[in-house]
Amino acid sequence: MEIRELPALLESELTYPVDTGHVVDQIGNVELDTPATDTSETIGVILAPLGATTFDSPNELYNTILGNVSDDFIGRKFYDDRGANPAAPSNAPDPTDEIQSF
């Protein structure tokens, strides 16, 4: 399933408030496809590190899932079209260099 389809699933399949255990029991095997690769992650795997958590709304659960997906869901990590490329060398002084006074 594509991640853009997830809000409708969370709305239709669960009754809120709902805890992590119930989410995993009901829809934990649903696979979310990564946008750039041919891999996927299940909702159960994404929520596993959270432990026992209660979600009061589909939006809260959706935001939690989005915040915990793997790096495979990130297009160009650290990409910023408004600034310099972070991998490019900078002309700024290195803060670890010793400052010398004359």
32 inside domain: yes
| Per-residue tokens: 20 | 């992590």
| Structural domain total, the chain | 1
65 inside domain: no
Mean pLDDT, 10 residues at a time, the chain of 102 residues = 92 96 95 81 92 93 89 64 61 64 64
75 inside domain: no
22 inside domain: yes
The per-residue pLDDT for 67 is: 87
Residue among 101, 42, 32, 16 nearest 73 (CA): 32
57 inside domain: no
Residue 37 lies in domain:
1-48
43 inside domain: yes
The per-residue pLDDT for 9 is: 95
5 inside domain: yes
Where helices occur in the chain by DSSP H, the ranges are: 6-13, 20-27, 43-47, 58-68
14 inside domain: yes
